[in-house]
């Protein structure tokens, strides 16, 4: 095989993301990414040390285009909702990336930028110390949890259907709720959920 042209981390990450989108997390291997790039596996190792670095490049690529600008005159609640919805939409477009985001949230430059933006809004709203810690952690936990729920158990999935078919005499509330859940669009589920969380922060 002829010597390949020089690769870039962006190009490698783009190829890895294509593999993830088509084959899922289990399909992400150095061999698969090399094939996507049209190079030999050993050639890829000249640019990427291992799969761990490859995963980091993918997360950074997905979050690189994350828009963190919010209306300056908007309320703190509105700005937090915008930031939450943006990262949810950006990462949600690539479901196989969700586990990588969860495990690498403290390592990714993108999640750090998002976190700084959220904390900045909380700080402007008067949150300090432990109160800011808990508020940030709560919002982040909801966003990450919602992303995982969308991948593992979307309301439109088989799990909801199975719950909706439970005998009403044994599970009246669960079965009825599941039947309603099938009619809730994913975007509405997240938007209304994050509104509940933000209201609970008791912003000024």
- Domains of the chain: which residue ranges? 9-63, 68-200
Q: 162 exposed, middle or buried (CB, 10 Å; 0-12, 13-18, 19+)?
A: exposed
Rounded Cα gap, residues 35 and 29, in angstroms: 10
Helix/strand/coil for 116: helix
Q: Do the Cβ atoms of 55 and 23 come closer than 8 Å?
A: no
Rounded-to-integer distance, Cα 154 and Cα 140, Å: 19
Residues 81-104 have pLDDT tens digits of 999 999 999 999 999 999 999 998
The alpha carbon of 58 is separated from its chain's Cα centroid by a whole number of angstroms, namely 12
101-154 pLDDT, tens digit each: 999 888 889 999 999 999 999 999 999 999 999 999 999 999 999 999 998 888
For domain 68-200, the question of CATH label 1.10.10.10 is answered with: no
User: What is the per-residue burial (b if ≥16 Cβ within 10 Å, else e) of 31-64?
Assistant: ebbbebbebeeeebeebbeeeeebbbbbbbbbbe
pLDDT for 107:
87
Fold annotation for 9-63? Arc Repressor Mutant, subunit A (1.10.10)
């Amino acid at each position: 095989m002829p010597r390949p042209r020089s690769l870039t981390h962006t190009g490698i990450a783009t190829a890895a993301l294509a593999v993830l989108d088509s084959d899922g997390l289990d399909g992400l291997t150095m061999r698969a990414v090399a094939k996507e790039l049209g190079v030999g596996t050993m050639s890829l190792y000249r640019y990427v040390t291992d799969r761990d670095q490859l995963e980091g490049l993918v997360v950074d690529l997905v979050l690189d285009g994350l828009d963190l600008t919010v209306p300056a005159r908007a309320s703190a609640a509105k700005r937090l909702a915008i930031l939450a919805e943006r990262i949810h939409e950006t990462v949600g477009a690539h479901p196989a990336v969700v586990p990588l985001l969860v495990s690498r949230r403290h390592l990714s430059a993108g999640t750090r930028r998002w976190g700084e933006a959220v904390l900045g809004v909380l700080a402007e709203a008067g949150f300090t110390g432990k109160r800011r810690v808990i508020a940030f952690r709560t919002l982040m936990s909801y966003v990450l949890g919602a992303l995982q729920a969308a991948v593992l158990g979307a309301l439109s999935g088989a799990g909801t259907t199975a719950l909706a078919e439970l005998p009403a005499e044994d599970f009246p509330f669960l079965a009825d709720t599941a039947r309603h859940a099938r009619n809730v669009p994913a975007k509405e589920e997240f938007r209304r959920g994050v509104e509940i969380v933000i209201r609970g922060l008791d912003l000024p």
